[in-house]
Structure 1
Amino acid sequence: MMQSLRLRLVIGAVLAIAFVLLLVGFGLSRVFSTYAAERYRSDMSAIMDQLAASIEIRNADAVVTDEPSDPRFGLPGSGLYWQVVPKDGKVIRSRSLWDVELSLAALHDGPYRFRETLGPDGAPILVDIRQIEVETGQGNRPFTLLAAFDRKVLDDAISQYHGSMTGMLIATAAVLLAAAFLQIGIGLAPLSRLQANLARVRAGSLDQFEGEGPTELKPLVLELNQLLKERETAVERARARASDLAHGLKTPLTVLLHVADGLPGPEKAMIRQQVDLIRQRSDRQLQSARLGVEQMTQTGLASLTGKLVSVLKPVTTARGIDWDVRLDDQLTADMDPADLAEALGNVLDNATRFARGVIRVSAAQDEAAVRLVVEDDGPGVEEAGLAEIAGRGVHLGDGEGSGLGLAISADVLAAYGGGLSFARSALGGLKVTLSMPTRTSRRTRSVKE
């Protein structure tokens, strides 16, 4: 099934133009062929009229007193012939037939309602026939009049016309196709503008679609604007509920911390740890509530990574760990800076905990996604355990921390249509790849879905 509207319109235009021009060509061919044949028939009729008027009976023999004056009748095999055949008596013929007599029995049906036979040179000729009677003293004498011409003359005239007509039809087809392409381009231009406005809405530079455009698209624009309004209302409602939840949790958590202060050391530490876990998870859920609803922005990878590295450098410098950052200043990701900072920050923090001497950060981009790679030279993870790293509560190494860092990074990237993957690094440790799809690939995936 054809998915392209433009292709459908082009194929429809091509088929319509081809059908119309073929129909016109067939009609013009028939009209011209009939016209040319009738012109020759008229000429042959005029010759026979002159012959009929010139036949006289002298001494019981028929003679033509006034032969047609066309000089071709006097040239043997010239392509123009006449013949008078009495019912009984001597046949009278033009000099162009030379010593060949056209046999009435050899005539057969030819094109354009002519009769056909072979001429003096063996080439086909078309013959027009008329039966007449001439009055004499002994009564009427019947005669058969024949006027003929070379078939090739008529065929060549029609063929030449077909050649000229074909060239004209091809030129007409080219002009009509150009007009059809222009019309299709103009007709689909509003859809291109609508797509551009949709990209601006996604980028956050436009709140709603502009109402200008063809009448046929205005209902669609109105529906899209209404959808955006409903989406904005739903987002605001979700944010309000998330805010209410945050405020509702603060007070009970604060009370629990005060209660914990009056407990012995082990119980106090346990309650504080659990309260911290609740706060982390609630903050994560609150942040997830807004992921994917913020307007899409572009974040420079080199700038953001530099800021995160500068925060972590005091820790790594004290341990003798070097940073190898290889990022193009022009490389960007279609993510909110805060979301990307959280996703990348957790990965970089994990690398600083296990690296022994170097942490490498690099990135590459293709049509599908931007891929940010973080590698370290730490102990790494066995192949069998790579698939479990991003699970919630999974601890690496000494088991410090909540075990939510990489899981949170995976959630953030998933909200943007990306993901987190793990492999063994050439440095010997863990290789973490953050994949962030481009807007083009994200739009393509949405259309397929």
Structure 2
Amino acid sequence: MTRSLRFRLAAGALISIAVALSLVWYVLGHLFEDYLADQYANEMTAVSDALGARLAIEDGNLRLASEPSDPRFQIPAGGRYWQITAEGGETPLRSRSLWDQELSRALLLPDMYCGFHQAEGPDGGVILVSIKDMVLTEGDHQTTFTVYTAFSKDDMEAALASYHWPLMLMLIVTGALLLLASFLQGLIGLKPLSHLRREIADIRAGRSSQMGASGPAEVTPLVNEINMLLSERETAVERARARASDLAHGLKTPLTVLSHLAEALPADRREMALQQIELVRQRADRQLQAARLGVEQMATTSLIGISGKLVSVLSPVTRSRGIEWTLDIDPDITIQADPADVAEAMGNILDNAVRFAERRIEISALQDREMTVLRIGDDGPGAAPDRYASMLKRGVSGGEEGMGAGLGLAISRDIATAYGGDLQLDRSRLGGLEVALCLPNKALANLQPNSFG
């Protein structure tokens, strides 16, 4: 089932309108059908009564003083018919419109239509018949007879059609107007939600810290809950920062003491101990940075600014080795991500590039509507493609034995994944390794804190 409120409201309105209009169609159709059947029944009753009033008995037989004046009775298959059948079996009296057709109960069709009997008419069509038994008394003589009055079924169906088509058109127009009204109602009713989305986007981008209190009464409780959540989140961030600072201060002194103690070790062990102490310090720094990921406010980060700062920091290291830098990034490329997270991810990749590059390092970036791809390539020895997957795992280094702890690329990938992106390895056009850091232009709405290392 779709998760769109607008679609649900539209579907509910469509079903409700369709059911309501179908009910209106059914009720009005049957009311008019009953009304029309009553009109025809009254007309046939009036004809039967008029014929009965004009009958007389002459020489023991029924005689009609005068026929109804309606000209349709005089025209063959004229659409109106009557017949008088005496009980004695004498030749029935009938209208000229019946021509040589004779009505009887035995010739009636089994099915009735709107309360009328059906029979075949003089033109082969169906006629609707009303039957009335009557008794005529004249002196001591009493005669029982049956009066058949009929009309064409096509006449009634044409009258029903002339009513149903305008009714259908009216209901279609009414349904369209109601659907339009429901669409406008949904558009106007859900507009506050769009306003809330913009306010939340401003909070994530760091342009505001709280949501405004203005809005419909139904939305105000939600806004209050979100503001309370933001306040609790800010409190949690401050506590996390305080704990991170305490942890960093607590680790600094023991690591410094261990470094001094390691100086007293034999040369072969001293170097290994210092490397391990430095490894612990680097891992602690990365864990402290990772603890902030997804908790700090989102900000608009310029890639050219972050890249320029990192290159200026690493240039003194590469200048002595004669390594050249190529930076090809559009100044307008920005992403919604914490600058420290982007710097951490890029810094780990650049550390590897500086370690293995021989003469050149290239940095470039491309951006489409959804994703920004930052590519960092070098002209170093690179790695075999079958090692790319393992190089993104923790503890696996892409270089020679002992060169690096194999954490940089794994941490960078974790950062990219936390923002809804990815990190990919390939062979660069310079011949070495190329790392593609893919980050969405807008951070995930459900970004959660992650722990790396």
Task: Sort the TM-score into its range (normalised by shorter chain).
Answer: 0.7 to 0.9
Amino acid at match of 1:200: D
- In 1: Cα distance, 2:378 partner to 2:97 partner: 106
- In 2: Cα distance, 1:399 partner to 1:419 partner: 27
Q: Which residue of 2 aligns with 1:33?
A: 33
Shift in Å, 1:253: 4.7
Shift in Å, 1:66: 3.0
Q: Cα 1:432–1:295, aligned 2, differ >3 Å: closer, same or farther? A: same
Amino acid at match of 2:213: G
Q: Which residue of 1 aligns with 2:291?
A: 289
Q: Which residue of 2 aligns with 1:332?
A: 334
Shift in Å, 1:36: 0.9
Q: How does 1:4-403 map to 2 (within 5 A)?
A: 4-88=4-88, 89-109=90-110, 110-253=112-255, 276-313=278-315, 316=318, 319-366=321-368, 369-390=371-392, 391-392=394-395, 394=397, 396-397=399-400, 399=402
- In 1: Cα distance, 2:270 partner to 2:254 partner: 16
Shift in Å, 1:430: 0.7
Shift in Å, 1:235: 1.7
Shift in Å, 1:316: 4.8
Question: In 2, are the aligned partners of 1:355 and 1:378 still within 8 Å (CA)?
Answer: yes
- In 2: Cα distance, 1:259 partner to 1:318 partner: 32
Question: In 2, are the aligned partners of 1:378 and 1:428 still within 8 Å (CA)?
Answer: yes
Which one is further off, 118-127 or 212-221? Answer: 212-221
Shift in Å, 1:289: 2.4
Aligned length: 445
- In 2: Cα distance, 1:147 partner to 1:128 partner: 5
- In 1: Cα distance, 2:260 partner to 2:253 partner: 11
Which one is further off, 420-429 or 270-279? Answer: 270-279
Q: CA RMSD in A?
A: 3.1
Structure 1: tracts of 5 or more residues without a match:
none
Amino acid at match of 2:52: A
Shift in Å, 1:386: 3.1
Q: Which residue of 2 aligns with 1:433?
A: 436
Amino acid at match of 2:195: R
Shift in Å, 1:80: 0.8
Q: Cα 1:76–1:394, aligned 2, differ >3 Å: closer, same or farther? A: closer
Amino acid at match of 2:419: Y
Shift in Å, 1:291: 2.2
Q: Cα 1:400–1:100, aligned 2, differ >3 Å: closer, same or farther? A: closer
Shift in Å, 1:311: 4.6
Q: Which has the higher helix share?
A: 1
- In 2: Cα distance, 1:21 partner to 1:307 partner: 69
Q: Cα 1:169–1:96, aligned 2, differ >3 Å: closer, same or farther? A: same
Shift in Å, 1:314: 5.6
Shift in Å, 1:320: 4.7
- In 2: Cα distance, 1:116 partner to 1:263 partner: 120
Q: Cα 1:317–1:50, aligned 2, differ >3 Å: closer, same or farther? A: same
Identity %: 49
Question: In 2, are the aligned partners of 1:334 and 1:436 still within 8 Å (CA)?
Answer: no
- In 2: Cα distance, 1:34 partner to 1:419 partner: 72
Which one is further off, 279-288 or 171-180? Answer: 279-288
Q: Cα 1:258–1:116, aligned 2, differ >3 Å: closer, same or farther? A: closer
Q: Cα 1:272–1:359, aligned 2, differ >3 Å: closer, same or farther? A: closer
- In 2: Cα distance, 1:153 partner to 1:45 partner: 17
Amino acid at match of 1:136: E
Q: Tell me the TM-score normalized by structure 1.
A: 0.87
Which one is further off, 377-386 or 235-244? Answer: 377-386
Which one is further off, 251-260 or 347-356? Answer: 251-260
Q: Which residue of 1 aligns with 2:451?
A: none
Question: In 1, are the aligned partners of 2:395 and 2:406 still within 8 Å (CA)?
Answer: yes
Question: In 1, are the aligned partners of 2:383 and 2:398 still within 8 Å (CA)?
Answer: no
Shift in Å, 1:164: 1.9
- In 2: Cα distance, 1:121 partner to 1:233 partner: 94
- In 2: Cα distance, 1:164 partner to 1:202 partner: 56
Provide Cα deviations, 1:312-361, integer angstroms capped at 9, x if missing partner: 45655665544443333332222222332232133224323322343222
Q: Secondary structure at 2:81's aligned position in 1?
A: strand
Structure 2: tracts of 5 or more residues without a match:
449-453
Shift in Å, 1:409: 3.5
Shift in Å, 1:77: 1.5
Shift in Å, 1:303: 3.5
Provide Cα deviations, 1:240-298, integer angstroms capped at 9, x if missing partner: 11222233344445556667788898887777655544443333232222222111112
Question: In 2, are the aligned partners of 1:413 and 1:419 still within 8 Å (CA)?
Answer: yes
Question: In 2, are the aligned partners of 1:108 and 1:116 still within 8 Å (CA)?
Answer: yes
Q: Cα 1:101–1:322, aligned 2, differ >3 Å: closer, same or farther? A: same
Amino acid at match of 1:168: M
Which one is further off, 241-250 or 68-77? Answer: 241-250
Question: In 2, are the aligned partners of 1:61 and 1:90 still within 8 Å (CA)?
Answer: no
Shift in Å, 1:67: 1.9
Provide Cα deviations, 1:366-395, integer angstroms capped at 9, x if missing partner: 566322111112111233443444534847
- In 1: Cα distance, 2:421 partner to 2:125 partner: 82
Question: In 2, are the aligned partners of 1:374 and 1:433 still within 8 Å (CA)?
Answer: yes
- In 1: Cα distance, 2:418 partner to 2:51 partner: 100
- In 1: Cα distance, 2:301 partner to 2:400 partner: 32
